[in-house]
Structure 1
Amino acid sequence: MNHLKKLAQAALALTFAVTLASPATAANRPTLKVGYAPGGGSVLTFIAKDQKLFEKEGIEVELVQFASSADGLNALNSGKVDVGISFGTAGPLTFISKGSDFTIIGGHLSGGHPVLALPAKAGQFKSIRDFKGKTVATPRIYTADIVWRGALKRAGLDPNKDVKIIELKNPSAVLEAVKAGKVDAGIGASSVLVKARESGVAIVGWSNDYFPNHPCCRIVAKGKAVKENPEAYRAFLRAVLQAEKLKAANPRLAVEENKKFLGMDESMAKEFTLEPHQHVQADPDKKGVKQMWEDMKSIDYLQTDLDVNRHINVELYRDALNELLRRNPKDKYFKNAKKIFARQNL
């Protein structure tokens, strides 16, 4: 009888050990609430969610949509979401300058914001200096606004004197101002690209023209949360890195995900997703973020002596990438991502 009892105890212990060693179930996986805006900067998370890459990496992700970057960043600041993925770069940096405990840990989108004008005025805008004396609508605190104003400054123009700037709440309001003829041009965003083309508005330039491959949608989290649970955020980055590889191999998948998550029809999703001026990449691009920080100070957007390096964490992304390479040491895509990381962050 004692022998049977010992066998039963051993079996129970083995079962317990196997349970501990098995992958986390949905009930005990950490959950990250991820905020996004309905623009072009969320597709990696959409792919990772739909292809169950988050679950593969041991976390659950709950998506929460916001109407604007400001709404999403306020939600992140108040703890209603854990991560922001498509709220630009200028927005998070503005919150950081005002004392928010934000940390940039990765990216989603670089470049890809159109400059808009009516067709009759399109020929007036061939270079950044052509904005002198013009009335231009911009969405304040949006990344494209900072990129454009910084370019004006580098071209020797004073954004406060040489251009009449009309600040509006969001890119949709900018598009409406251009359509109504209230301004000569508008600084748009990827979120209004398709609507602009459908309404016959001309695209006279791109944010990339003024700051090549500039960072836009950064992955942002609360600094304290990252310190308390770094593995959850590393897992998030591992998932979106794998999604980036999937998108590169199968662009059609990205089109389908934007159709599904953003409610787009086929033609709109295809044009929106495959626009060549948009570069989708999970790399945090610390150098680009720091340049934008300096641009924001140069145009008096920010008045601060804060060291922005304290709010950019590239170690989590580095660790996530190294783990994927440990699993697949010959993977060409991730080996190239490591070269990009060294160029953009070290």
Structure 2
Amino acid sequence: MTKRQKIIGIVMIFILLISLLAGCNNKAKNTTADEVEKRQDKISNLKVGFNPATGNLLCFIAEDKGFFKEEGLKVELVSFTSTTDGLNALNAGKIDMGITFGTAAPLTFMAKGPDLTFFGGYLSGGHPIYAKPEIAKTFKGIESYKNKKVATARLYTPDIVWRTAMNKAGIDINKDLEVIEMKKPTDVLEAVKAGKADVGIGTGSTYAKAKQSGLDIVSWSNDLWDNHVCCRPVAKTEFINNNSDTIVAFLRALIKAEKVFNEDKEFAVSVNQKYLKLDENMAREFTLDTNQIIESDPRKNGIIEMWETMKNLNFIESDMDVNKHINIDLYKKALDQLKLENPNEPFYEKLEKRFDEYNF
């Protein structure tokens, strides 16, 4: 064989390899397109409970960008201003899942018998603690809670975070201050506004109204318990088991929405402005300046930590194995699918590493 023939042979092999790789790539793209078309052909309806003041940015983005439609989902957002009402509706089958009912309240609910399961993530941290300006300026740290009247919505996630911080700091909330327990966060806000409480352990849902009422933020829940979990998507275990494909589709949409949130903060601001009906300045502040950590990952380790903390505070007396009420497999399946469909996307690689950190 001549040198020329060898060169021609090598070139032909190279061309053949390129053709094969292109064919594989096209096949993967065609398979993905076919799968999307199949999902769109079969529409699944979901009734999703949420707090209209907190919202759920990932759901808003997924709806606005058409991700739910891509996944064959028609999502109806059902508003609840009370977490208890939302969880009762979930248990009664009036909604399919809740997405902004916190972590502490669902855990309390489960401990009493209802068979619910967490299956995804949304929010960690991001809850304000507020007071009137004249009181806020006296706050120097955790010791400043002493001798104050503190309003808190019992069994909401920020309530657990605050009580845990007081306990760790050696502050006896029964002797060193006065606790005013409320049924819901809006009651906390009204108590502070009316001067019946010095400090309010707020929630993200009351942030905008607190600021509009002239209250100052003295601290954040993240300052008391770094990166604590809060809103986790939750549903009846039976519903999850019987509708696993629908749950995976829902999680795929949330993961894609998280990618948009990370890449385009200005769009995120506009979406919150649109769906929460805020002016631009408040939408920007609420989206970017409230210490909210927005992630689609279930964060199993964080849920277990919250469960153990609540038991240590004697808020829960139960032998329930909380591990059986946290499903991380469906999230991992959704993430694996997106990685397979987008093999060169570094964002999904990052989420896989985070998944291992948060769940094992």
TM-score by length of 1: 0.90
Shift of 1:29: 1.6
The one-letter code of the counterpart of 1:181 is G
The C-alpha deviation readout for 1:47-101, integer Å capped at 9, x for no partner, is: 1112111121222212111122222111111111111111111111111111111
Shift of 1:41: 4.9
Determine if the alignment matches structure 1 residue 237 to structure 2 residue 251. yes
Equivalent residue in structure 2 for 1:202, among 216, 223, 234: 216
Distance 1:161 1:147, change over 3 A: same
Q: Look at both structures and tell me which one has the larger radius of gyration over its CA atoms.
A: 2
The one-letter code of the counterpart of 1:324 is L
Distance 1:106 1:118, change over 3 A: same
Q: Which residue of 2 aligns with 1:98?
A: 112
Equivalent residue in structure 1 for 2:276, among 262, 271, 274: 262
Equivalent residue in structure 1 for 2:203, among 186, 189, 193: 189
The 5 Å alignment of 1:275-294 reads 275-294=289-308
Distance 1:161 1:77, change over 3 A: farther
Please say if residues 41 and 109 of structure 1, whose CA atoms lie closer than 8 Å, have aligned partners that are also in contact: no
Shift of 1:128: 2.5
State the distance in 2 between where 1:278 and 1:134 align.
27
Contiguous gaps of at least 5 residues in structure 2:
1-33
Deviates more, 1:226-235 or 1:33-42: 33-42
State the distance in 2 between where 1:121 and 1:177 align.
14
Equivalent residue in structure 1 for 2:38, among 7, 23, 37: 23
Shift of 1:23: 2.1
Shift of 1:232: 0.6
The C-alpha deviation readout for 1:163-216, integer Å capped at 9, x for no partner, is: 321111222221121122211211011111122222221111100011111111
Determine if the alignment matches structure 1 residue 76 to structure 2 residue 67. no
Please say if residues 146 and 296 of structure 1, whose CA atoms lie closer than 8 Å, have aligned partners that are also in contact: yes
Shift of 1:140: 1.5
Q: Which residue of 1 aligns with 2:328?
A: 314
Contiguous gaps of at least 5 residues in structure 1:
1-18
Determine if the alignment matches structure 1 residue 333 to structure 2 residue 356. no
Distance 1:109 1:39, change over 3 A: farther
Equivalent residue in structure 1 for 2:177, among 159, 163, 173: 163
Distance 1:66 1:158, change over 3 A: same
Secondary structure of the equivalent of 2:38?
coil
State the distance in 1 between where 2:97 and 2:144 align.
39
Distance 1:123 1:195, change over 3 A: same
Distance 1:21 1:110, change over 3 A: closer
Shift of 1:265: 2.1
User: Identity percentage over the alignment?
Assistant: 50
The C-alpha deviation readout for 1:207-233, integer Å capped at 9, x for no partner, is: 001111111111111101111121110
State the distance in 2 between where 1:199 and 1:103 align.
37
Secondary structure of the equivalent of 1:61?
strand
TM-score by length of 2: 0.86
Q: Which residue of 1 aligns with 2:357?
A: 343
Secondary structure of the equivalent of 2:119?
strand
State the distance in 1 between where 2:263 and 2:85 align.
34
Distance 1:307 1:129, change over 3 A: farther
Q: How many residues are paired up?
A: 327
Equivalent residue in structure 1 for 2:157, among 135, 143, 164: 143
State the distance in 2 between where 1:90 and 1:169 align.
14
State the distance in 2 between where 1:276 and 1:175 align.
17
Please say if residues 251 and 334 of structure 2, whose CA atoms lie closer than 8 Å, have aligned partners that are also in contact: yes
Please say if residues 150 and 298 of structure 1, whose CA atoms lie closer than 8 Å, have aligned partners that are also in contact: no
Q: Which residue of 2 aligns with 1:39?
A: 53
State the distance in 1 between where 2:71 and 2:93 align.
23
Please say if residues 127 and 290 of structure 2, whose CA atoms lie closer than 8 Å, have aligned partners that are also in contact: no
Secondary structure of the equivalent of 1:107?
coil
Secondary structure of the equivalent of 1:264?
coil
Q: CA RMSD in A?
A: 1.8
Please say if residues 138 and 186 of structure 1, whose CA atoms lie closer than 8 Å, have aligned partners that are also in contact: yes
Shift of 1:25: 4.7
Q: Which residue of 1 aligns with 2:22?
A: none
Determine if the alignment matches structure 1 residue 176 to structure 2 residue 217. no
Q: Which residue of 2 aligns with 1:212?
A: 226
Distance 1:39 1:340, change over 3 A: farther
Please say if residues 41 and 108 of structure 1, whose CA atoms lie closer than 8 Å, have aligned partners that are also in contact: no
